[in-house]
Amino acid sequence: MTDAAPSPAAPSWSIDPADVARFSAIAAEWWDPKGKFAPLHVFNPCRLTFIREQALERFDRDGSANAPFEGLSLLDIGCGGGLLSEPMARLGFSVTAIDASEKNIKTAATHASEQGLEIAYRPATAEQLLAEGAGPFDVVLTMEVIEHVADPGEFLRTCARLLKPGGLMIVATLNRTLKALALAKIGAEYVLRWVPPGTHDWKQFLKPEELRAFLAGEPVETHGPFGVTYNPLTGRWGRSTDVDINYMMTVTKG
């Protein structure tokens, strides 16, 4: 998400400027596990496990290897401060990570450099990459991003077009249900204060059938949804059959 206007020559219609500004304003806090992005730090192990499991199965890789995905390319769309990009690089992926916020990219690139990781960070949109002929990529991640864009259908189709034949895309988002309104919006933002008020717009949450419909004309197959829930007793996130709030879907091409 960006506070710097995209090039007029580059398609960028999925961007929501208000969300770009909101995330840019707190970009420096991405790597503070007790800061404004603390919920993502808690959520990250669950996301990473799911991505790893799905990629191991899709590409028939050896999970006991130190870098099981060596030789595969990965695009992290809406990468923020790099909370997913860095673990993916450690798993062996050649990582390209984009975000429309230049402040987020600067934070992510600085942190990766401090860790000795080579990640191709750049401030850009998915539409810009597609227009430039970038990729395609073996894996495309769009995690907790689609509910923040202005045109989710066009955004998701663009992401799918950046995927190689045989590739895997993983989408994570929030379901537009009354339960999600009560817990993920009102509860998380105004009661528990997990995220700053105004972070989410419940009307932008998406139902799984809507994601499938967005991709109906593309040469891909969608799988899921796979539910994700928070256990307040353990303080951890885990896989669940409950898709009423958080869920993930996988998309495969060819």
| Whole-angstrom distance, CA of residue 126 vs CA of residue 116 | 26
Judged by average pLDDT, the poorest of 20-24, 123-127, 163-167, 207-211 is 20-24
- Residue 88 annotated as part of some ligand binding site: no
Mean pLDDT rounded to a whole number for the chain: 85
Burial of 88 (0-12, 13-18, 19+ CB in 10 A): buried
Long-range contacts, stretch 194-200, CB < 8 angstroms, 24+ apart:
194/38, 194/39, 195/36, 195/39, 196/22, 196/26, 196/36, 198/22, 199/22, 200/147, 200/174
Alpha helices in the chain (DSSP H): 17-24, 38-59, 85-90, 102-114, 126-132, 152-161, 178-180, 208-214
Q: Between 194 and 39, where is the model more confident?
A: 39
85, 108 contact by CB (below 8 A) = yes
Which tokens is 155 given?
């955004």
With cut-offs at 50, 70 and 90, classify the pLDDT of residue 148.
confident
What average pLDDT score do residues 79-103 get? Answer: 95
CA-nearest of 88, 76, 215 to 141 is 76
| Mean pLDDT along residues 80-109 | 95
Query: What is residue 232's predicted lDDT score, i.e. its pLDDT?
Result: 80
- Rg (C-alpha) for the chain, rounded Å, is 17
* 238 annotated binding-site participant: no
- pTM of the predicted protein model: 0.84
190: pLDDT confidence band, cut at 50, 70 and 90?
Answer: very low
Within 10 angstroms of residue 168's Cβ, the number of other Cβ atoms is 24
| Residues linked to residue 96 through DSSP beta bridges, in sequence order | 75, 120
Q: Is the pLDDT of residue 3 over 50?
A: no
What φ, ψ does residue 148 adopt, rounded to 5°? -110, 0
- Asked whether residue 204 carries a pLDDT value surpassing 70, the answer given is yes
CA 110: distance to chain centroid?
20
78 is in an annotated binding site: yes
pLDDT of residue 37: 81
Instruction: Name the band, by pLDDT with cuts 50, 70 and 90, for residue 179.
Output: confident
Residue 9 has pLDDT above 80, yes or no: no
For the record, the structure tokens of 172 come out as: 């994570």
Residue showing tokens 């799911």: 50
pLDDT band at 35 (very low <50, low <70, confident <90, very high): confident
- Enter the DSSP assignment of 202: G
What's the pLDDT at 56? Answer: 98
Give the pLDDT of residue 209. 97
| Strands 220-231 and 163-174, sheet pairing | unpaired
The average pLDDT across 58-63 equals 97
State pLDDT tens for residues 227-242. Answer: 988 888 888 888 999 9
Amino acid identity of residue 44, one-letter, is N
Q: What is the pLDDT of residue 191?
A: 44
151 is in an annotated binding site: no
Please report which confidence band the pLDDT of residue 207 belongs to, taking 50, 70 and 90 as the band edges.
Answer: very high
Greater confidence (190 vs 159) lies with: 159
- Residue ranges and CATH numbers for the domains of the chain are 17-253 (3.40.50.150)
